[in-house]
Amino acid sequence: MGTVKKNSLILGCIADDFTGGSDAASFLAAGGMNTILLSEIPGEDYELPDDVEAAVITLKSRTQETSAAVADSLSAIRWLRGAGASHFYVKYCSTFDSTPEGNIGPIVDAVLEDLDTDGTILCPALPANERIVREGILYVKGLPLAESPMKDHPLTPMRESRIRLLMEPQGRYDSLEIHADELHTADESLRARIDDFKKDRNHWYLIPDYVDADDASRIVALFGDMTLLTGGSGILTELARHLRTQDAPETVYRGTEGPAVIVAGSCSTATHAQTLWYEANGGNSLRLSDAAILDGSQTPASIWEQMGTDQAPLIYSYDTPEGLQKKRNEAGRQLAAQIEDTLAQTAAWAMQNGVTRIIAAGGETSGAVTKALGYKAYRIGASVAPGVPVMTPVDNPKIRLVLKSGNFGQEDFFGRALALTAL
C-alpha cells in the first residue's frame, strides 16, 4: 500500500444492468478498492479520477438482443482496457438470469476471445443474499433455481438449476464443475485435474462450489490472478482485497440534507414486502394505475402534486404473478415501459423540485431513473443492504441515490435507506 498514483485502475468490470453494477461496485468498495460506477460506456476523452482502482460500467445486456449485448460488452471491455485495467470481471445476476437463448454465454465467449485468454470461472453465488452453488447447482433461498420464484420471472424465467446445463445451450465451450471437496484439496491435485480438463480445449469454464466465506477466499486464492473472472458479486470483496494496491479511501459517502422520494417498479416478492412494511409503518404511498398511465392522466407533475414532500413518498407499481403472466405480450411490454418512464420522470421532477435523496427499486426502474437524472459517474459509499450502496454523483455531491435490484434488501429496506441517506 502506498501513495495514490495516476492511472491507478486495476480492475474493469461490466455489469448486465444498473443495479447489477451498483451491487458489484458496493462489494468492491467493501474490499477497500476506490470504486467508481459509470452508467454508460464513456467517450474516448473521458478520464477517470486519478485515485480509482476499480471501474464498473453498467450495460443493458441482461435482456438486450444478443448481438447488441455482445457488441456493447466488447466496447465496454475495450474501453476499460484502454483506461489501464489489467484484470476484468463480467458481472451477471446471482440468479444467473438467462434463458436457453440468453446472453451470458455469448458475452463470456466473446470477452474470452477478445482478451485472448483461455478460460474463466462461472461463479454466480452470493451467500449474503442466500444464493449459493453446491455440487454445481445454484440454490436461491434454499431452493434449486428452477424451483425458486425465479422460475416465473417475466423476462428471464428459469427452468434449470445446474450451471453447466444453463451454459451448454448458450456458450460454445465446455464446463468443469469443482465441488467443495475438490475445491479445498491440495493445490497440486486440483491444478492437475484442471490441467487435464484443459487439454485439447482452446477455451473453457470452471464452476466452483461457493457456499460460505471460506469458499470465497479459496476461489480468489486459486483464480484471483486470472485475466478474466465472471459471476455475481459474491467474490468481489475478496477479489478487491487481493488486487488493491493502495489504502482504502477514507471518505465514505453517507447522508445529505433535503427531502426524499422512493420509486418502485419491481414486482418481486421482496419489493412487495418492503412496500407493505413501509405502508404499515405510516409511509406515504401511491400505487400507479395502469389505466391512468395508458390514458395519460397520471403524470409526473400530477403525481408530485398529489404526494408532496411532507413525508418521503413511495410511488410504486405492483402486479400479481397472474397479472404479470397476462402482460407477457407486446401491449404488456409497452405498458411496462410506460410505467418505468413515468417513475423515472417522477424522480427527475422531484429532484428539480428540491429532492436530494432518491431511492429506486427494480433493475429496469433504476436504469430508467439514472438515465432521466442524467448523471454518468458515481462514487460508492456505505451500503443499506448487501449489494445496495449509497451513491453520490461525481458531478453533484449533494445528491444521494440508492438503487436496488428487486429481490434485494430487508423488509424494512426503505426505512433503512431513508435513515442512511439523511443527515
Say whether 340 sits in a helix, a strand or coil. Answer: helix
In this prediction, what percent of the chain has a pLDDT beyond 70? 93
pLDDT at 154: 67
CB 183 within 8 A of CB 209: yes
Q: What is the mean pLDDT of the chain?
A: 91
Q: Residue 116 and residue 113: Cα distance in Å, rounded?
A: 5
Q: Which CATH class is domain 11-243?
A: alpha beta
Q: Which CATH class is domain 260-374+386-421?
A: alpha beta
Q: Residue 34 and residue 383: Cα distance in Å, rounded?
A: 15
Half-sphere exposure of residue 180, counting CA atoms within 13 Å on the CB side?
A: 12
State pLDDT tens for residues 342-370: 999 999 999 999 999 999 999 889 889 99
Q: Does 357 or 307 have the greater pLDDT score?
A: 357
Ranges in the chain annotated CATH 3.40.50.10840 = 11-243
Ranges in the chain annotated CATH 3.40.980.20 = 260-374+386-421
State pLDDT tens for residues 362-395: 988 988 999 999 999 999 988 999 889 999 999 9
State pLDDT tens for residues 7-41: 599 999 999 988 889 999 999 999 999 999 999 99
Which sign does the torsion angle of CA 160, 72, 119, 30 carry? negative
Beta bridge partners, 383, equal 389
State pLDDT tens for residues 202-218: 999 999 999 999 999 99
Q: N- to C-terminal Cα distance for the chain?
A: 32
pTM of the predicted structure, to 2 decimals: 0.85
